[in-house]
Amino acid sequence: MNKNTIIALTFIIVMAFFPLIADSAWLGIGITFLIFACVAFSQDIILGRAGIFNMGHAIFFGIGAYATAILNVQFGFEIIATIPFAIILPVIAAIVLAGPIIHLRGDYLLVATIGFNIIFEQVLKNNPGDITGGPNGIFGIDVVRVFGYELFSDTAIYYIAFGLLLITLLIIRNLDNSRYGRALFYINKDEIAAKSMGINIPYYKLFAFALGAAIAGAAGSVFAIQYSAVSPESFNFMQSVMFFAIVLVGGSASLPGVLIGTFVMFVLPELFTEFNEARYLIFGAAMVLTMVLRPNGVWPASFGNIPKYLKEKVKGAK
Amino acid sequence: MDIFLQQLINGLTIGSLYALVALGYTMVYGVMKLINFAHGDLVAFSAYVGLTVFTQFFGSGATSFVSVIIIFIVTSIIVAFVGVLLERLAYRPLRTAPRLSAVVSALGASLVIQNGIMLIWGPNMQIFPADLLPSTTWNFGGVIISYTQFVILILSAVLMAALYIFINKTKMGTAIRASAIDQDAAKLMGINVNRVIVIIFVIGSMLGAIGGLFIGIYYRALTFDMGWLYGLNAFIAAIIGGIGSIPGAMLGGLMLGLFNALIAGYISTEWAETFTFVLLILILIVRPTGLLGEKTAEKV
């Protein structure tokens, strides 16, 4: 076992036993951390791995949360039955929204995704067809029922979120070892070179968008379960900025980096509520400072993700 | 027809404000290829500084033409200073870093300025004094132009003309244009690119400050987070015109102002932002380099 595996296993074991030692306030923070970590990882697939400047990630998180809320409260679906919709609808949205703009380069795409996020927020607030609940959102979402058991305790929700994080990590691990993951890295490093090697760039970029949206949608569903309510503020443009910043502050395409980013951006503010007023000021200053001191993030990914057999080949050749 | 002409005047007024702010975005983007997300918050900051200068030095008493000019000059200088400081602390260390690092730094700087405003002036809405400019209005056959609108339109036009001449006819302007095309080549030609960048931050911040003061005078309600709203609109204006292009920012600003006014006058205010962003996304899809932007090939 190498060092990284040990760190990863320690993290998973600590997170698995965390509810045994935590009181209810800490458990809530733990759930928030797990959910936002999933969203941050899904943003990392788009931003960190594929290198697409997506600043509208809260849209997919929001569609997932609203899918669960609307289907449960307005249409009486069981929570479990809403989860497939909370995954598929963001994927459809990702393909429909990102499809026409996927060819745009960097900054233009960033601005277009900001635009989508602001439109999304306005749609939620203006409540077309009376289904989104307007500025107040939707509350009174049901508890999760599986085979007659009601999973309403914080501990149960914690383990749902934890399960989602494990699935996310598994997906990312498989992605990194697959043709798709390598194509995304290649596109990120040098788009023109990738294109000339015959990689279908729009296809892989849309794939990254769809995969990221699916995970974010599932996380949104768990978010709706945790608070049993959704409101537009949780999915506004500022939230997208946070997801964007998490990945880059932590270190793009770096699993520990993204976890550190999530911890710094979402958990530390919960702990320092006494600085409430100056919180975002410190936050912003920390963002500038991190980037100035460590332009590649706190814990940058170590030399790409070159597969081991290739590294060994290089060693052998020497 | 009266409504149309009225909305035309209103739109041109708002458009001039957008254009003034958009120039700051487009100049910084032109030279540094960086979306200066903090620019909108500088604009909000300038409105607050203007308010404080006014209440500190002139009280709420009668205002003269001279006092208004003093407010504009003092505010512009303070905001230009903050703009240069911003460049020095948040952007210069990242000039050779990956581009996204600079974007995050800009977002962080934006949060700092926005929440700095909140800590200094408080989270509640502040009201700009009404008597800064005379409340005279003129009525041209049903179309009403206020003194404020008149001043905004005239002064914006003068400033933009001055900037156009500065960029195109002076030595420094040539250096700015050269740095925008190729920084390394500009350096080899003996241009001090650091100085060019400081100058664009000074000019951009001053124009933004004047825009911010006009926003204060025209709309009067100030909130600490209003920088995002005006900043985004101005930024959209810069993109519509073609980011990096100075005449483009002027044209884009006026067009966006007119578009907003006509949407608000004829269709809906509830969905105003949606219309703006749909327009933006359509323009990005059809012509990503904007109306006046040059089509440049991607560098290999």
Q: Are A246 and A283 in contact (CB under 8 A)?
A: no
Q: How is residue A286 annotated by DSSP?
A: H
DSSP sequence for A197-222: TT--HHHHHHHHHHHHHHHHHHHHHH
Residue ranges making up the domain that contains A149: 20-234
Q: Give the model's confidence band at B300: pLDDT under 50 very low, under 70 low, under 90 confident, else very high.
A: very low
Tell me whether residues A288 and B115 touch, CB distance under 8 A: no
The token pair at A217 is: 């949608």
B21 Cβ contact list (under 8 Å, min separation 6):
B39, B40, B43, B207, B208, B211, B212, B230, B231, B233, B234, B237, B253
pLDDT for position B159 = 92
Tell me whether residues A115 and B119 touch, CB distance under 8 A: no
Q: Give the model's confidence band at B299: pLDDT under 50 very low, under 70 low, under 90 confident, else very high.
A: very low
Q: How many structural domains are present in chain A?
A: 1
Tell me whether residues A53 and B100 touch, CB distance under 8 A: yes
| Residue closest to B227 by CA, chosen among B115, B133, B78 | B115
Conformation bin of residue A134: beta by default, left when phi > 0, alpha when psi is -120 to 50: left
pLDDT for position A1 = 61
> Which position has the token pair 């026409």?
A100
Tell me whether residues B107 and A105 touch, CB distance under 8 A: no
Asked if residue B297 has pLDDT above 60, the reply is: no
Average pLDDT for B18-37: 91
Residue A138 lies in a domain: yes
Task: List, for residues B221-242, the tens digit of each pLDDT value.
Answer: 899 888 888 898 999 999 888 8
Residue A257 lies in a domain: no
| Residue closest to A215 by CA, chosen among A304, A83, A52 | A83
pLDDT along chain A (318 residues), means of 10: 78 84 84 93 92 92 94 88 94 94 86 92 86 85 79 85 93 90 88 90 94 96 91 89 90 87 80 72 87 86 65 66
Query: Can you give the C-alpha Rg of chain B in angstroms?
Result: 19
pLDDT for position B138 = 84
pLDDT for position B18 = 93
The token pair at A256 is: 């520990």
A158 Cβ contact list (under 8 Å, min separation 6):
A18, A19, A27, A30, A31, A34
Residue A293 lies in a domain: no
Judging contacts by C-beta atoms under 8 Å, the chain B residues touching residue A105 are: 288, 298
Question: Which chain A residue shows the shortest CA-CA distance from B93?
Answer: A292
From the list B111, B243, B285, the residue facing A284 with the nearest CB is B111
pLDDT for position B114 = 92
Residue A240 lies in a domain: no
From the list B108, B277, B284, the residue facing A284 with the nearest CB is B108
Judging contacts by C-beta atoms under 8 Å, the chain B residues touching residue A248 are: 100-101, 103-104
Q: Give the model's confidence band at B61: pLDDT under 50 very low, under 70 low, under 90 confident, else very high.
A: low
The token pair at B122 is: 């408080």
Judging contacts by C-beta atoms under 8 Å, the chain A residues touching residue B298 are: 105, 192
Judging contacts by C-beta atoms under 8 Å, the chain A residues touching residue B239 are: 108, 111
Tell me whether residues A249 and B109 touch, CB distance under 8 A: no
Residue A285 lies in a domain: no
Asked if residue B1 has pLDDT above 70, the reply is: no
From the list A119, A277, A283, the residue facing B111 with the nearest CB is A283
Q: Give the model's confidence band at B100: pLDDT under 50 very low, under 70 low, under 90 confident, else very high.
A: confident
Asked if residue B204 has pLDDT above 90, the reply is: yes
Residue A62 lies in a domain: yes
Question: Which chain B residue shows the shortest CA-CA distance from A48?
Answer: B100
Residue A282 lies in a domain: no
User: How far apart, in whole angstroms, are the C-alpha atoms of residue A182 and residue A184?
Assistant: 5
Please tell me whether residue A145 adopts helix, strand or coil conformation: strand
From the list B108, B114, B278, the residue facing A287 with the nearest CB is B108
Reported ipTM: the value is 0.88
Phi first, then psi: give them for residue B202, nearest 5 degrees.
-65, -50
Q: Are A292 and B94 in contact (CB under 8 A)?
A: yes
Residue A167 lies in a domain: yes
Tell me whether residues B119 and A278 touch, CB distance under 8 A: yes
